Amino acid sequence: MSTFHPALPVTERDQPRTVTGVIERVISEVPAARTHAVSDAAAAAEQLARTAAQKAALLSGSLALPPGPLGMLTVLPDIYLIWKVQRQMVADIFALHGRTAELTGTHMLFCLFRHLASQVLRDVAVRTGERVLIQQLSAGALKGVLGTIGTGVTRRLLGETAGRWVPLAGAAAVGAYAYWDTLQVAKTARRLLEATSTEPPARTPRVRAPRT
C-alpha cells in the first residue's frame, strides 16, 4: 500500500502546488476494481457509495482529532487518503456496470472533482447527441486544469484548518464533509456512466387509443 508523505511544513504560498501534485498522483493510477458486473448495478453502486462515504468520514474525522499544530500536519495526508478511497469507489462502480476497460485518468479526474470545479471541467465531457464523450486532455491542458483545481482545493483547506483547533467539533465537521463529498463523487460517476452508455435509452411504449 502506497503512502503519502508531503514535505512539511508546507507554506501557504507553496500549498496550491503541493495539492496539485497530490491530485496528479491520485489520477495517474487507476486501481484494480474489487467488484464485478452485477445485474442490478444501480442498487449495488448506491450501497457501495454509502459504505465508501462512511469510510471516508471515519478516516477524515479521525485524522482531524489531533488539536492545534499536530492536527494541521494531517491535512494533506487526509485529502490524499480520502481521494484514494474515492478513487477505488469510482473504479468499483465502473466494474459493477461492466465498464472497467473504459476508465481512464481523465474519467477519474472528472468524477472526483466535477462537483467542485464544474466550470474548469466543462470541456472534458462533451455532449454528442444523446451521449457524452470524455475528451482526453493534452499535457498542457491537463496541467492547467490541475493547477486551477489545486488552487480551489487549497482555499477550502485553508478554511477547514481553522476547525482543527477545536478537536471534537472540527473532527465532526470534517468527517461530515468527507461523507458528503464522497457521495457527490459517486453521483458523478453514476451519471457519467448513464450519459456515456452505448445502450439506447429505454423508450416508453406508445399506447394506442381504442377505436370507437
Element (DSSP H or E) covering residue 159: helix 139-160
Under the banding of pLDDT at 50, 70 and 90, the label for residue 204 is very low
Tell whether the torsion through CA atoms of 139, 141, 146 and 147 is positive or negative: positive
Give the residue-averaged pLDDT of 43-50.
97
Percent of the chain with pLDDT over 70: 73
Higher pLDDT, residue 47 or 155? 47
pLDDT of residue 1: 47
Q: Which residues pair with 128 in a beta bridge?
A: 131
C-alpha cell at 34: 474489487
Under the banding of pLDDT at 50, 70 and 90, the label for residue 160 is low
pLDDT greater than 60 at residue 143: yes
Closest C-alpha to 76, from 148, 143, 171, 4: 4
pLDDT of residue 207: 43
pLDDT greater than 90 at residue 211: no
Higher pLDDT, residue 18 or 146? 146
Under the banding of pLDDT at 50, 70 and 90, the label for residue 135 is confident
pLDDT greater than 80 at residue 59: yes
Q: Would you say 71 and 167 are in contact if contact means Cβ atoms under 8 Å apart?
A: yes
pLDDT of residue 9: 42
pLDDT of residue 107: 93
